[in-house]
A and B are shown apart, each in its own frame.
Chain A
Amino acid sequence: MKRLVLALAMTTLLLAGCGQRADHATLYDALGGRPGVEATVENLMYRIADDPTLVGFFTNTNIDHFAASLEQQLCDLADGPCHYDGPPMDRAHQHMGITNADFNRLVGHMEQALIAEGVLLGARNRLLGRLAPLHGEIMRRQSPPAH
């Protein structure tokens, strides 16, 4: 038992050591800067387009405009040289009938897009941590889903 505790403690310390390096760069850099974020968003768009559950939410959306706005938002959230000037999340998503299941699907696609674009686990976790609080804003003004 004691040896295991020691092993766990050592692993944690080693991991903590690895984590230190990231402090010099912003999360935006870890996402690959502007080309990285653009590629991730493009990858995400294809995943949404292939998802019959989610694609319906975008039928009246200008995809180019949406992608540019999302890139700006991710850049802002990741401490990049951008300022998100799009609509607040609650207004942008109001009365769309988004369920938690829809939200989870989108987060799953985002995670897969980040992996596909070679973003490392640490940076993915940090980004998801910054996106997580948006859930409350996005879900605030949802009308009950139509059945």
Chain B
Amino acid sequence: MMTSPFLFMARMIRDALLVIALCLFAGQALAGSRLLATGGVSQIEGAAGGGLSPWGVLAGSASEGELAATAFISTAPLSDYTLTAGGIALNVHDRLELSLAHQHLALDTLGGRLEQQIAGAKLRLFGDLLYHPWGVWSLGVQHKRLDDGSLPRVIGAHDVQGNDIYLSGSKLVFAALAERNLLLNLTLRSTRANQGGLLGFGGDLEPGRTLVAEGSVGLFLTPRWIIGAEYRQKPDNLSFAREDDWRSLYTAYFFSPQLSLTGAVLDLGAIAGLEHQHGGYLSLQFAL
């Protein structure tokens, strides 16, 4: 169990080194040929995506016959909470993405914390972000498990682990607006997660799965710099606390194929009975 951000970072670095070691062991160089920014950044659950939602692209810049790995650390100080997330992802031949992430939600006002582990896999079904007329489409799964589910159970969550399944599509439209490239993303997710899983899975209002839609648009002002907006619909399973959809306005800058920084303003609505959870978001991604 995580106790401090320092331990958290240490573990992330250890995991990243493990992935690199595995790749070297497999005798394959970590190098990608895909163009800058076509792997997106890391979303809070560890998949390649925006900040809130997975995208159809796979992590890093790996293409056919190539491997890529990414590691990220994100923080979102909200009105009454602080969310910290970190993780790693491995892209195998631009076909399969495997990811591990850890989320830590500090309950600044209520006291205490909630933590969950997320193991993800994303399979590219077909397409290409830039070249296919329909873009790139992927099918993903996220297995989530709370470290300590006692608080979510008290407020009515049925389970302390769950699986999200999602279909995600992304398409870059060249010179779409003012001769700038426009990035479109759509994700459909089947989930039982309350607040992404941090408040458990299922509840008295809805014990089963809900199909939710997530989407984002982004405009590349330059090949390195994108601004945009994201929206993530959420289920509403608990009568104890209403759950709202998540919204963000984001900007990301790709300093190099190896380093990107994402900033956003978030509006996450009500969380566990506390209304108007607004805040900032910062995310750093390293790629190999």
Q: Which of B35, B229, B265 has the most CB of A within 10 A?
A: B35
| Stretch in B3-11, B58-66, B96-104, B149-157 with 4+ CB within 8 Å of A | B58-66
Q: How far, in angstroms, from A104 to B65 measured CA to CA in the complex?
A: 12
**CB within 8 Å of B: which A74-90 residues:** none
**CB within 8 Å of A: which B160-184 residues:** 173-175, 177-181
Instruction: Decide: B35 and A104 in contact? CB cutoff 8 A.
Output: yes
- How far is the CB of B18 from the nearest CB of chain A, in Å? 25
Determine the chain A residues whose CB is within 8 A of the CB of B33 once the complex forms: 101-102, 104-105, 108
Main secondary structure of the interface of A (DSSP, over half): helix
Say whether, besides A1-B265, A107-B35, A15 and B177 are in contact (CB < 8 Å).
yes
Q: How far, in angstroms, from A19 to B179 measured CA to CA in the complex?
A: 6
How big is the B interface, by class?
Answer: 20 to 34
Instruction: Decide: B227 and A11 in contact? CB cutoff 8 A.
Output: yes
Instruction: Decide: A100 and B128 in contact? CB cutoff 8 A.
Output: yes
Instruction: Decide: B174 and A132 in contact? CB cutoff 8 A.
Output: yes
Q: How far, in angstroms, from A129 to B265 measured CA to CA in the complex?
A: 31
Residues of A whose CB lies within 8 Å of any CB of B are 1, 4-5, 8, 11-12, 15-19, 22, 99-105, 107-108, 111, 121-123, 125-126, 128-129, 132-133, 135-136, 145
From A129, A135, A145, contact of B174 by CB (8 A)? A129
Instruction: Decide: A8 and B180 in contact? CB cutoff 8 A.
Output: no
Q: How far, in angstroms, from A104 to B131 measured CA to CA in the complex?
A: 10
Say whether, besides A108-B35, A125-B180, A1 and B267 are in contact (CB < 8 Å).
yes
Determine the chain B residues whose CB is within 8 A of the CB of A108 once the complex forms: 33, 35
From B219, B222, B278, contact of A1 by CB (8 A)? B278
Determine the chain A residues whose CB is within 8 A of the CB of B133 once the complex forms: 133, 136
Verify if B208 is at the interface (C-beta below 8 Å from A): no
Determine the chain B residues whose CB is within 8 A of the CB of A11 once the complex forms: 221, 227
Say whether, besides A121-B222, A125-B174, A101 and B249 are in contact (CB < 8 Å).
no
From B94, B173, B223, B265, contact of A121 by CB (8 A)? B223
